[in-house]
Structure 1
Amino acid sequence: MNDRSQVIPKKKWKVRYSVLLVLWLCWLFSFMDRMVITIALPFIGKDFNLNATSQGLLLSIFFAGYALFQIPGGILSDKFGFRRTMSIAITWWSIFTTLTGLIFSFPLLLMLRFIFGLGEACLPGASYKAIATYFPSKQRGTATGIQSTVNTLGPALAVIATAAIIGLFGWRAVFIIMGIPGLCVGIYIWLRIKDNPKDHSKITKEELSELDEDLDEKPSEETKSISFKQLFKKPILWQMAIIWFFFDITFWGFTSWLPSYLIKEKGLSLMSTGIFSALPYLVGTVAIVFGGYLSDKVKGNRKWVFIPNALIGGLSLFFMFQASSLTMVIIYQCFAAFFMFLAQGGFWGLVVDSLPAKIMASGTATVNCFGSIAGFISPFLMGYMIEKTGTFHSSFIMMIAALVLAAITALTISGKPKEEPVNLELTIDAK
């Protein structure tokens, strides 16, 4: 009996996997809560008598609040810990998701979506800080890739669930229902997750030793503090911010207007739109994890996971809007999604591996802030272009050009980014 017990394999599930699962759920609900409006948009437009430009503004106003509070949200996570910041944030945006379904005034709806964006703005910095805190450097690309699958599954689940709920109960019910799960996750984070892995009751010595390996790799003389102002002087930070801005011009344009494109240009029904809009994101789920995994494997050359795949994604978008048959449109949109999300998985592996853990929230929030600005510009600008031209062609050209510019900017990153020590402390210059 004793001999048998000695060969039983050790338990492989680690605390960091549980933390990643919670982060994944946070991102899933954040994407579902923000993306249901893309399917509901034609019905909201009809109820509020909105033209394409006004509908684009409704999509974009979320990103105004999201961009505005990205960096402050990252600072809060670095100062007070990701646990408090994240739990309050998800509770905040879940409440405002539910309230969206109860508004009957367009100006109030715009204001509500803006406030909703303020709450979601705290999530990116907090979640990347959690990954940097609980995951060793060698696994951060894969972890961010897994977390980023919500970029694909979120919209996919949102379009299917939203189409079904709208068909049964109308567009208002979907917002009321979607706000409930996030409240439960927010409470769980507050009660169970710890900012310091050493404080977690279930963490093992093996896990802590893996995290200590990163500390051992850093020279002790580099344990100086870094100010918030110094963070902004790092070229790699701005290179990544510009890349993410151009990439998100395409991502949010594609995500926000794809359902309307299929309904208006291709004549699909509501349910068919829900199914076909979900396909590229389901394909992208596999791609984004693979991109993060590849990023870890080519550590030091992570940009080469991003560049070619971003360009191929742009080429697929070109073939998509040139295609005449619905079948080819669906095929090319899946190709575009696969390569775009493969590029995205590689990109965030580069970001998380380039910044020190102590300022991870502020750094990643700065990068993501530029994506939020793109998220504000792209849906509104596409709506304006669609209204003025009567077609989606010019907006597709804009998305393709943005991917090319993102790839060109990535070429300017030379080699492996210089690493900073993980035991730095964030200090905010009062000046």
Structure 2
Amino acid sequence: MSIATKENKGDSYKWAVLGFLWVAFLLNQADRQVFNVVLPLIRDDLHLSDISVGWIATIFNLFYAVLVPVGGMAGDIFSRKWIVTLSLLFWSVATMLTGFASGFLALVILRSIATGGGEAFFGPSNYSLLAQYHDKTRAFAMSVHQTAYYIGVIVSGYVAGYIGQKWGWQSAFYVFGAIGVVWAVIMMFGLKDKPVSKQEAVAEGGTPSRTRIWDGFKVVFTTPTALVLTLGFGGLIFVLTGYLTWMPTY
């Protein structure tokens, strides 16, 4: 096989990677939103108070925030393909099991802790793997990938609402969780880590450097631009989480 042929195959596969990760990101956002969409049905069925619902959302984001740096460290050490795939599989199974929840505590364990913790490992390796394959086309690939966020929210809003009204809120979790499990299996066979070339290995010193989590926090809190962006993004999430959680109710 000629060098040109290998380059063409690699160039075409990077778009397949974008496809795999696009669907996975769509399911990530759809699974996150399905709870909010059927929340009115859950509240009535399980007799939850507004305070209880607020705690479920708060604990979800807390576990997500704490575990995201851990997920980033894991992505620098282990296979990003398997971290992305197993993360999708884990939160999808947790989503399915959420349909069996019978009260506040079960929702905290299955939704806030299991689903939130599983999703935390997805983001860092997902974006890193996409960036590895797309160097000259990175901005375009990232922009296409981001459309999965909005489409996932839209699809979840309509489909989960319809399923919830037609067959009950439990069925919405069963369906979205099952789709995620199927896509995780597909990714196990179709998604690949990008091979590291000899030049890249030499540039990195041959072996990956040890990741220190506090170095990242030090950069954020000592670099004005990074700190302002972090605070701005925090404000965005503050409003977005409140809106997405309570909008279907009110």
- TM-score, length of structure 2 as denominator length: 0.83
| Correspondence for 2:188 | 190
| Correspondence for 1:260 | 249
> How far did 1:227 drift?
4.6
SS in 2 for 1:104: coil
> How far did 1:176 drift?
1.0
> How far did 1:88 drift?
1.0
Matching residue's letter, 2:76 = D
Query: 2:120 aligned with 1:121, yes or no?
Result: yes
Pair 1:175–1:135, CA change in 2 (3 A): same
SS in 1 for 2:37: helix
Separation in 2, partners of 1:181, 1:220: 38
| Correspondence for 2:37 | 39
Separation in 1, partners of 2:204, 2:22: 34
- TM-score, length of structure 1 as denominator length: 0.50
Separation in 2, partners of 1:54, 1:251: 19
- The equivalent position to 1:58 in structure 2, one of 46, 50, 56, is 56
Separation in 1, partners of 2:172, 2:182: 18
Separation in 2, partners of 1:111, 1:176: 17
Matching residue's letter, 1:66 = Y
- The equivalent position to 2:161 in structure 1, one of 160, 163, 167, is 163
- The answer to whether the Cα contact below 8 Å between 1:38 and 1:59 also exists between their aligned partners in 2 is no
- The answer to whether the Cα contact below 8 Å between 2:81 and 2:192 also exists between their aligned partners in 1 is yes
- The equivalent position to 1:250 in structure 2, one of 222, 233, 239, is 239
Pair 1:129–1:13, CA change in 2 (3 A): closer
| Correspondence for 1:404 | none
| Correspondence for 1:111 | 109
What CA deviation, in whole Å up to 9, does each residue of 1:12-39 have, x standing for no partner? Answer: 9721111111111111111111111111
Separation in 2, partners of 1:11, 1:132: 18
- The answer to whether the Cα contact below 8 Å between 2:29 and 2:149 also exists between their aligned partners in 1 is yes
- The answer to whether the Cα contact below 8 Å between 2:164 and 2:171 also exists between their aligned partners in 1 is yes
Calculate the aligned-residue CA RMSD, in Å. 2.7
Separation in 2, partners of 1:111, 1:131: 31
- The answer to whether the Cα contact below 8 Å between 2:129 and 2:194 also exists between their aligned partners in 1 is no
- The equivalent position to 1:232 in structure 2, one of 209, 212, 217, is 217
5 Å-filtered alignment, 1:397-412, equals none
Pair 1:249–1:220, CA change in 2 (3 A): closer
SS in 2 for 1:259: coil
Matching residue's letter, 1:173 = S
Matching residue's letter, 1:30 = N
- The answer to whether the Cα contact below 8 Å between 1:37 and 1:59 also exists between their aligned partners in 2 is no
Query: 2:130 aligned with 1:131, yes or no?
Result: yes
| Correspondence for 2:73 | 75
Separation in 2, partners of 1:118, 1:13: 34
SS in 1 for 2:154: helix
Identical-pair percentage: 27
Query: 2:174 aligned with 1:176, yes or no?
Result: yes
Separation in 1, partners of 2:215, 2:53: 40
Matching residue's letter, 1:250 = V
Greater relative contact order (CA < 8 Å, ≥ 6 in sequence)? 2
Separation in 1, partners of 2:181, 2:204: 43
SS in 2 for 1:50: coil
Separation in 2, partners of 1:145, 1:243: 20
Separation in 2, partners of 1:132, 1:112: 31
Separation in 1, partners of 2:157, 2:132: 33
Matching residue's letter, 1:233 = K
Separation in 2, partners of 1:220, 1:42: 52
Separation in 2, partners of 1:162, 1:185: 18
> How far did 1:50 drift?
1.8
What CA deviation, in whole Å up to 9, does each residue of 1:36-56 have, x standing for no partner? Answer: 111111111111212222222
Separation in 2, partners of 1:155, 1:175: 15
> How far did 1:75 drift?
0.9
